[in-house]
Structure 1
C-alpha cells in the first residue's frame, strides 16, 4: 500500500478541525475542550480507509485528485466517528495507548469537582457528541466535495448505506455479547463483522474511489465482493490481535475483549472444546488480570481456537485476493490489495 498518510490528506483533515475549533471558541470551555480532544483522537492511525479510496481512484485512472482527497478525508472522519461511538458503547476510556475522548472528559470533569458518577456521565456525553460532530462533518465534506451532482448523489448513497449497515453491525455486536445464547455460530459472527467493519472500511472506499474515477458500473459489484472478503479477514485478524497482540501495536487494551465478554470467533470456537470449562469463568470478568489472561490465551491456543480463527482469516483474505485477480480489477489495484493482504497475514501469524 501507499504510505500511511500524506500531507495533502492531513491538510484536508486539519482544515475541518480548525474550522470546528474556531467556531467553538465562543461557545464555552467545554466544547472547546471537546474539539481539542477530537483533534487528538483523529490524529495518528494508519489511514487505511483513505489509502484504499485513493488507490482505487488512482488505479482506475481518476484525475480529480483534490476531490478524491476531500472524500478520503470524509471517510477518515467517518471512521473517527465510529471509533468514538464504539468506545462509548464498550465503556473504554483508552484508545491507542492514551485517554480517548470519554477518558479525557472523565478527568476533565473530575478536576472541576464532579463526582465519580458525574465524571462518568460527562465522559459518555462527550463521546456521543464528538462522534456526532465527526459524522456530520464527514457527510458535509462529501456533499461539498466538488464532484458533479450525479456522482455526489451516488457518493452520498454509498456513505448512507455504509452507515446504516455499520449501525446494524454495531448493534449485532452488542446483542450477541449480552443476550445469552449458545446457538450463535461462527457464521453469525462473520456476518456481523461484515456489517460492522467491512462495509464501511473496505467496500465503501473501494467503490467510492472507483466512482470518483468514473470507472465502469460493472466494476462496482466485484469491488463490493472483494471489500467484503478482505474486510472480514481484516476484522478476524483484529480479533486475534485484540487478545494476543501487543497494546503498543494495536492501540487497544488486550484485556478488553475478554473483560467485556465480547463474542468473537475465538470464543464461539472455544465453546465447543474441552478447554471451555476453564476459559468460561474469565470471559466477561471485569476484574480479569494479565496473569489470568495469560492462562486464558494459553488455553485458546491449546484448544485450537487461535489456529481456527487464523485459518479463517487467511481463507477470507486469500479468496478476496483471488476474486480481485479474476474479476477484471486493474492490475495495479490488485497489487495494492496483495500488499495489504500480506501485511494482514503477517499480523495474524
Structure 2
C-alpha cells in the first residue's frame, strides 16, 4: 500500500479513534461470551499493523481543503470508520480466498481454525469454525464502521452524506468482489475485458480512494464541485492502483507482493492482464503456460515469460499510465486548492512507482 505523510497529531487522533472502537467492541464482547471475546481480541490483532492509509486520506483531504480540526470533532471517528471498513473487507476476503495467514501471522480464520483443533475438532470442523469466525468478525466490523459514522457529532446533512458514502463503498466493493470470484470460477467462458476492468475498479476504487477523499471534503464543508473532482480522481486512481496490484500479483517479487511470487498466476485469477492476453494471437501458448502455473515456481516463470511475450504486460502498463493520466487530468481541470492538488498528484506518482 502507498503511504501518505501526515502530522504526528493526526496519526495519534486516528489511532485513538480506532482504539476506542476496538475497546468498545472488546468490552461488549467480554460481557456476552468468552468465545466472542476471543473473536473481539482477534479483531484487535487484525486491525493492528496496517498503514492506516484510508483514514489518513480522509484527514489529508480535510486539511488541504481548509478544514479546521478544532471545529470538527467528528474528523477522527469518521476517518477511523474507513479503517474498520477496510479491515472488514480484508477479513471477508481471506475467507473467500481460504487464506489462513496475513502479514506472516495467523489471520482471524487461521486463529479460529487452530482454536478448533485445540478443542478436538477435525480438519473439516476446524475449517468451518475458522470461516464462521472470519465472516462474523467482518460483519461486526462493518456494523461498527456504520455505527461510528451514525453516532459521530455531525449535523444531519453531513451525517446523511457520509452514510451514503459508506453505503456506496460497501455495495460497490461487494459487486467487485463477487464479480471477481465469478470470473475466477468461470474459466471456460470468454470474459469481456471491460467487465473484468469494471470488477477490478469496483473492488478498490470507491472504499479505498474516492469515498475517503469525499468524506474529508464533506467534513471540510467543501463545495459540490470539489467533491465531484475528488470522486473522479479517486475512481481513476483506485482503478490504476488495482491494475498495478494485478501486475504485482503476476510479476512482483514475494517481498513486494507480500505472498508467493506469481500468486495470481498460481491461483488462476482472471485479471485484466489475462483478459488482455486472451486478445493476443499468442493466447494458446499463454493458456498452456497458465494451466501449469499452479505446479510451482518454474511453471510460474514460464507463464510470466509467456504473458510478457504476448504483449499483455506492456499493454497493462500502458493502461495504468493512461488511467493515471486521466486521474491527473481530473485534478488539472478542477478548482481544488493548490495544497489538495499537490497531495493528489503525489498519490498518482506513488501509484506509478509501484509498477513492478
Q: Same fold per TM (> 0.5)? A: yes
Q: Deviations over 1:81-136 (max 9, x none)?
A: 11111111122222222222112211221122111111111111011001001100
Q: Distance in 1 between matches of 2:36 and 2:241?
A: 35
**Once structures 1 and 2 are overlaid, which stretch shifts more, 241-250 or 278-287?**
278-287
- Is 1:72 paired with 2:75? no
- Is 1:48 paired with 2:56? no
- Is 1:330 paired with 2:355? no
Aligned to 1:2: 5
C-alpha displacement of 1:209: 0.8
* 1:202–1:231 CA contact under 8 A, matched in 2: yes
C-alpha displacement of 1:284: 6.9
Q: Distance in 2 between matches of 1:157 and 1:196?
A: 18
Cα distance 1:318–1:46, how it changes in 2: closer, same or farther (>3 A)?
farther
C-alpha displacement of 1:303: 2.2
Question: Which residue of 58, 61, 65 corresponds with 2:63?
Answer: 58
Question: Which residue of 224, 227, 241 corresponds with 2:231?
Answer: 224
Question: Which residue of 17, 21, 29 corresponds with 2:26?
Answer: 21
- Secondary structure, in 3 states, of the residue corresponding to 1:6? helix
Q: Distance in 2 between matches of 1:119 and 1:145?
A: 39
Q: TM-score, normalised by structure 2?
A: 0.91
Q: Distance in 1 between matches of 2:121 and 2:288?
A: 35
Question: Which residue of 104, 111, 115 corresponds with 1:104?
Answer: 111
Q: Distance in 2 between matches of 1:286 and 1:21?
A: 43
Q: Distance in 2 between matches of 1:96 and 1:274?
A: 39
- Secondary structure, in 3 states, of the residue corresponding to 2:159? helix
* 1:203–1:226 CA contact under 8 A, matched in 2: yes
Q: Distance in 2 between matches of 1:124 and 1:192?
A: 24
Cα distance 1:68–1:288, how it changes in 2: closer, same or farther (>3 A)?
farther
Unaligned runs of at least 5 residues, structure 1: none
Aligned to 2:169: 162
**Once structures 1 and 2 are overlaid, which stretch shifts more, 117-126 or 29-38?**
29-38
C-alpha displacement of 1:281: 4.6
* 2:108–2:134 CA contact under 8 A, matched in 1: yes
Q: Distance in 1 between matches of 2:60 and 2:229?
A: 16
Question: Which residue of 160, 184, 188 corresponds with 2:191?
Answer: 184
Q: Distance in 2 between matches of 1:249 and 1:330?
A: 34
Question: Which residue of 291, 297, 305 corresponds with 2:298?
Answer: 291
Aligned to 2:350: 343
Q: Distance in 2 between matches of 1:208 and 1:326?
A: 21
Q: Distance in 2 between matches of 1:75 and 1:10?
A: 12
**Once structures 1 and 2 are overlaid, which stretch shifts more, 32-41 or 268-277?**
268-277
* 2:11–2:56 CA contact under 8 A, matched in 1: no
Cα distance 1:284–1:49, how it changes in 2: closer, same or farther (>3 A)?
farther
Q: Distance in 2 between matches of 1:112 and 1:278?
A: 49
